[in-house]
């Protein structure tokens, strides 16, 4: 099913009492370095430290009584895991989470602390997705996909509504891309409300599944992924996310790991925000001059999460 703006409006009403309406921060201290008037949407301040709580909550709230009784299962590199675990705990639903063996320990502990059963499986998204599918089939648990689900996409799209409620006169919205659910929802909301706003997606150079897919004219699978941005380690482009991106996203750019590290330091030192590698890709793109923005442009950068591997964050700050 194609995501509609009406789906996002309904999600906005549905999850209102369960999520934090994060502020839109005007950060003049970053203007010169990023080349525009900077606004940050800090989803790192969300209850689970990531935007993923929105989509997970919206999906679980529409489960039938029988589905709630049987429980849910999801595959995730970490932030969706915490979102599902948190929403499930609040609603009294059993949750099984399949995470990669190389997952961020902070995200792993977060999922466990919300009471979920965690299983570690492989390092590729396709490996953990296969394990989650197995649980869904054998134990009749409802699969809560991190992005290939209309309710999940709609939940993420509520970010777009909030951004434009706070600043209707934006010129650009810049969004990090992992599996594609966040940019699918945000771009649908933003372009429906104001088609003149340009939406730019940012990927890591080590996992350019949508950039390569756009070049090929169809969704593709990557042979491998290699990036510090653990929340973006997805090895394939999703069909529906690809279609939405083609319809609503004006431009796709990519950044390397070195730029991501520099952006993490900038986020801490200048914006005073603790942001994880996947989320600061948007800042890295601007610092590298990869965005076609001007000094007077109002640009919103979506900071998707702040669940850092603390040992990595310590190394980055010391470097």
Q: Give which of 312, 199, 299 is closest to 260, Cα–Cα.
A: 312
Q: Which residues lie closer than 8 Å to 311 by C-beta, 6 or more apart?
A: none
Distance from C-alpha of 287 to C-alpha of 274, rounded to nearest angstrom: 18
Kindly state the greatest CA–CA separation across the chain: 56
Rounded to a whole number of angstroms, the CA Rg of the chain reads 18
Backbone φ and ψ for 57, nearest 5 degrees, come out as -65, -45
Tell me the catalytic residues.
52, 304
Distance from C-alpha of 43 to C-alpha of 53, rounded to nearest angstrom: 10
Q: Where are the alpha helices (DSSP H) in 35-180?
A: 52-61, 65-70, 79-91, 105-113, 125-139, 150-166
The tokens of 223 are what?
């042979």
Q: Which residues lie closer than 8 Å to 230 by C-beta, 6 or more apart?
A: 77, 78, 102, 103, 104, 107, 276, 277, 278, 309
For residues 266-278, one letter each, b for 16 or more C-beta atoms within 10 angstroms of the residue's C-beta and e for the rest, the string is bbbeebebbbbbb
């Amino acid at each position: 099913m194609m995501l509609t703006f009406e789906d996002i409006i309904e999600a906005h009403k549905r999850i209102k009492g369960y999520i934090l309406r994060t502020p839109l921060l005007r950060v003049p201290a970053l203007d010169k370095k990023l080349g525009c008037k900077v606004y940050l949407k800090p989803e790192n301040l969300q209850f689970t430290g990531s935007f993923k709580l929105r989509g997970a909550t919206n999906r679980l709230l529409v489960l039938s009584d029988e589905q709630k009784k049987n429980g849910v299962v999801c595959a995730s590199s970490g932030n969706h895991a915490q979102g599902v675990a948190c929403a499930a705990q609040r609603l009294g639903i059993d949750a099984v989470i399949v995470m990669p063996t190389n997952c961020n320990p902070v995200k792993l502990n977060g999922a466990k602390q919300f009471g979920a059963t965690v299983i570690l499986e492989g390092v590729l998204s396709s490996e953990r997705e296969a394990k989650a599918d197995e649980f869904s089939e054998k134990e009749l648990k409802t699969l809560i996909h991190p992005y290939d689900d209309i309710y999940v996409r709609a939940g993420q799209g509520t970010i777009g509504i909030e951004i434009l409620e706070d600043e209707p006169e934006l010129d650009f919205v810049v969004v990090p891309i992992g599996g594609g659910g966040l940019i699918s929802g945000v771009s649908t909301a933003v372009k429906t409300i104001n088609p003149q706003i340009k939406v730019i997606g940012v990927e890591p150079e080590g996992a350019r599944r949508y950039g390569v897919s756009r070049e090929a004219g169809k969704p593709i699978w990557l042979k491998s992924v290699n990036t510090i941005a653990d929340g973006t380690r997805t090895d394939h482009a999703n069909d529906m996310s690809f279609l939405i991106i083609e319809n609503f996203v004006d431009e796709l750019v990519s950044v390397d790991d070195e730029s991501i590290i520099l952006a993490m330091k900038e986020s801490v030192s200048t914006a005073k925000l603790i942001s994880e590698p996947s989320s600061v890709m948007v800042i890295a793109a601007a610092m590298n001059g990869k965005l076609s923005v001007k000094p007077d442009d109002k640009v919103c950068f979506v900071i998707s999460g702040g669940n850092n591997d603390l040992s990595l964050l310590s190394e980055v700050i010391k470097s």
